[in-house]
A and B are shown apart, each in its own frame.
Chain A
Amino acid sequence: MMRAGLVIAYILLAPVLGAFLDGLDRVVSARMQRRKGPSVLQPFYDLGKLFSKQLLAVNNVQLLLNLSYLVILMIAGSLLFAGADLLMILFILSTADMFLIMSASSDSSPYANMGAGREMIQVMAYEPLTLLLAVGFYLATGSFDVSVIMQQPKSAVFLMPGLLFGFMFVAAIKFRKSPFDLSTSHHAHQEMVMGITTEMSGANLAIINLGEYYEMVLMLGLFFLFFANKNWQSWIVAAVLCLVIFLLETLWDNVSARLKWKKVLYGCWTVTFVAGGVNLLILMLTH
């Protein structure tokens, strides 16, 4: 019953929470840059505006692919909140990303195509760590099931600090933050217009934004897993820590410049190997 409630809450509230966090991110970023910045509710206004615009498209498949991206992301997130298998959730998450890449490539447009290529590099950069993360949870808690992971007497973070660090590192890719915002970002200051979203406008773009909000909440849900245990108090701590991590990503976004793809790929792979791999090796030897 509680699971069904969580899933429904995720489906209904994730975009709201995501948009709110996005607004918060913009306000905090603006303050860091000594600007006033928009109101916290700006992402909501943006979404409303995008949906109200006339639908301009460059071909007839993009909308279909974008909608599939959104729905499959929602499935992945729902599975997480339903307490399903972590590996399966990660696999579906990358399947959703495939739809985004397909959508950008389907334009056959130079900028979108470049963005799609970079997005593939990004997926290749972060994927090893997410798999190691799932393995880490399996070793630490004895199960890939999110519902079992949540019922541990002690939070998983004590056993897997290296993996947490690694995940914080690569999560910048998923949050589309600098220095890893190669394929697209929310800022206009990039060398290839908007990357994957170049050819998307109106409702098309709004769908992608919604998808990213769902994804953002899903990622924070994964961070939540590190801290939560069977005591309800830990849930509050976990929620606060998730917010802190999110703000740390904002900070990192503001203090770093965009990197070239090689640095992103090898950087993420190295961090995965050192932080994730070593953590995993210790877990394997002790469990």
Chain B
Amino acid sequence: MTILLFLIGIPAAFAALFPFMRQQKARGVMAYTGAGLVMLTALAFLAKWLSNGARTVVLYPSTELVDHLMIGGDIILLCLIIFLSVRYKRVLPIIFSVLQTALVLFTEYTFSARLTGQAHIKIDWLSILMCLIIAFIGGFICIYTVGYMKGYHRHHKDVKDRQPFFFSMLFLFLAAMFGLVLSQHLIWMYFFWEITSVVSFLMIGYTRTEEAIDNSFRALWMNLLGGLGFAVAIYWMAATYRTLQLGDVVAIGAQLPIFCLAFAGLTKSAQLPFSSWLLGAMVAPTPSSALLHSATMVKAGVYLLIRLAPAFEGNVTGLVISSIGGLTFIAASMMAIAQNDGKKVLAFSTISNLGLIVGCAGIGVEETVWAAVFLMIFHSVSKSMLFQSVGATENTLGSRDIEDMHGLIITVPELAYIMGIGIAGMYLAPFGMLISKWVALKAFVDSGNFILVLFIAYGSATTMFYWTKWLAKLVSWHTPRDRVKDVTAKDEYASMFFHAMLMLVLCLLLPFIALEVVDPIVQGLFGNYTEVLSMDVLTTMAIMLVSVFLVPIIMFFASKAARREVVPIYMNGINAGDNRFFINSFGEKEHLYLSNWYLRFDFGRRHLMIPSVVLATAVLVLGFCLVLGGGV
């Protein structure tokens, strides 16, 4: 499996080259090549693994040289964090970073003699799936970035053009993600984990405005706090159990290291009380939001939790994780209602959906993990597509306010359709997200978790609300005052069309994905496996899916045939010519403006954020005390 080295090496090499690429056109070509190569390598990797019989493979027991390089890398990251923190006068990141690096280095040198013959890489269905998501979603986002960044800098003249740096970070991130999902050794995983934290930090600070810098440091310290949890788990495993294998952590089932690792997972996937960093991260250019803050990096957190899931069943850690996930699911979906900024809605919805995945993982039985994996696949595709279309809309309209998207279906129909498919994929029957919600609900009932059942019942209602009102804005048949010129580049469309197609194909292939991809993953994690969705149900679903697609299409032709007369809308008889104006009480023409519902006084962030953070912190602290008291 030498190809594995290429999977990490190719994006890393491109990352090293990009800073020297000053020319726009050449950089574009290079990004296309890089993305293409990454996707091809991932395909070759998949083919190779499948031809070897699709077995779980454990590799590289002794890797002294690479270990030393990684220690060097850890120290470089530490220096970078200290340098930037001193420059911008922040203390917290330095403390966390020094503590955890010291702890990891100490572990490495004290126990390395006793930790021989440990595997470093493990390839199984879950890591393959993650690799495919990273390669294809990530690859297409890189392609999208080329066109997007051009439009971005045309639109934001005040921001210094640092595109070489941006592309370099994108590819470095891809390399780190591949490393992260393939690692079995905790120290390796920790190294890649830290790289993703730092890359995310650097990308959030791209514009270098005061807000961006504040938000980037918030993201940094929260992620470093999670990293500290990771380091404690590493130390504990090495000192007490003499092993640093992720698989052994699950097999041994010691509560403290599991809790610490799960804590790291919570921070990375922006669960309460750490959700604020992801909201702040929305100041970054859209590709980084699409790639890091919704499709892949935050998935690293849930990936770790899914890996740990078998060790969560029926213990305090599992209870804490699932409660925090459920709380995040409902709280974030309520706060999403009060947002009118498209990216903010997407951020809240990401946090909320990750909450559902975390809730599923925390229960830790086969059914819920099945739902978690399923959710992860569909969420990645849908959300990446939504972020890209919002980014393209922002470049075109000059605003990403949902209110300004009124009548997008007339002004920029292509973007409206893509956005519409993305939104429908997030909550409508019978798309993948809904099916996972269905399985999750059933699993929550089976595991007897009453609170989570309530959370999911209320949370799906609030989720429905914020998506529907957005969708309703898009389909409004309103001719705008000024004509809008679509400035979306071809490569951006290429990426978005790919995502839309992927979404539809995934839906059509739903039974296949359930049986051939998700089932083996669950089997790999738990050893045994009971059927979650019967073939019967899956076929019904496929039939329904077709009908939900077909009905509007057939109706389109059916309604086209109908003869009708188009008349103006009803405005109490004070219409002024067309549907855009009415006569106000001064007898003047006034422009009609229709607003959405935001329920700010009920569901606003100002009202809900602090109580939910306090509650989540309390749960977390309580859980930690229980684990510490019972496990040591």
A interface vs B, CB < 8 Å? Answer: 54-61, 63-65, 67-68, 71-72, 75, 84-85, 87-88, 91-92, 94-95, 98, 101-102, 105-113, 116-117, 120-121, 123-125, 127-129, 131-132, 135, 138-139, 144, 193, 198-199, 203, 262, 269, 272-273, 277, 280-281, 284
Contact = CB atoms under 8 A, between A and B. Distances in A.
A180 to B, nearest CB: 15
Interface stretch (B110-118, B303-311, B565-573): B565-573
Interface stretch (B227-235, B441-449, B615-623, B624-632): B441-449
10 contacts: A58-B569, A75-B547, A75-B551, A91-B430, A92-B430, A105-B475, A109-B571, A127-B464, A131-B441, A281-B450
B468 A108 contact: no
B477 A108 contact: yes
Contacts of A125: 461
A138 B473 CA distance: 37
A129 B556 CA distance: 34
Given A106-B475, A110-B594, A132-B453, A117 B469 contact: yes
A94 B552 contact: no
Contact of B429 (A63, A94, A113): A94
A91 B438 contact: yes
Nearest to B469: A120
Contacts of A121: 465, 597
A102 B564 contact: no
B465 A109 contact: no
Q: Which of B558, B568, B594 has the most CB of A within 10 A?
A: B594
Contact of B468 (A54, A110, A113, A120): A120
A95 B548 contact: yes
Interface string B448-483: 101001101110111011001101110111100000
A113 B592 CA distance: 12
Contacts of A71: 551, 555
B477 A61 contact: yes
B406 interface: yes
B476 A108 contact: yes
A277 B407 contact: no
Contact of B475 (A58, A102, A129): A102
Given A64-B552, A91-B434, A101-B472, A198 B544 contact: no
A124 B464 contact: yes
Interface in B546-582: 547-548, 551-552, 555-556, 558-559, 562-571, 579
B428 A95 contact: yes
B30 to A, nearest CB: 43
B571 A110 contact: yes
Contacts of B477: 58-61, 106-108
Nearest to A93: B429
B493 to A, nearest CB: 23
A197 to B, nearest CB: 11
Q: Which of A117, A120, A262, A277 has the most CB of B within 10 A?
A: A120
A198 B570 contact: yes
B456 A131 contact: yes
Contact of A284 (B450, B462, B570, B592): B450
B596 interface: yes
B407 A108 contact: yes
| A interface secondary structure, majority | helix
Contacts of B69: none
A64 B565 CA distance: 15
Given A88-B438, A91-B429, A108-B406, A67 B468 contact: no
B564 A63 contact: yes
A183 to B, nearest CB: 12
A56 B579 contact: no
Nearest to A112: B569
Contact of B558 (A67, A94, A281): A67
B544 A67 contact: no
A53 B477 CA distance: 24
B457 A128 contact: yes
Given A94-B464, A127-B460, A139-B445, 12 more contacts: A56-B565, A60-B564, A67-B551, A67-B558, A68-B555, A92-B544, A105-B476, A107-B476, A108-B477, A108-B579, A117-B596, A284-B450
B26 interface: no
Contacts of B450: 280-281, 284
A124 B570 contact: no
B468 A98 contact: yes
Contacts of B407: 108
B562 A58 contact: no
B240 interface: no
B442 A144 contact: yes
B540 interface: yes
A64 B477 CA distance: 13
Nearest to A194: B570
Nearest to A84: B540
A284 B445 contact: yes
A65 B568 CA distance: 19
B562 A55 contact: yes
B597 A120 contact: yes
A135 B478 CA distance: 42
A198 B460 CA distance: 29
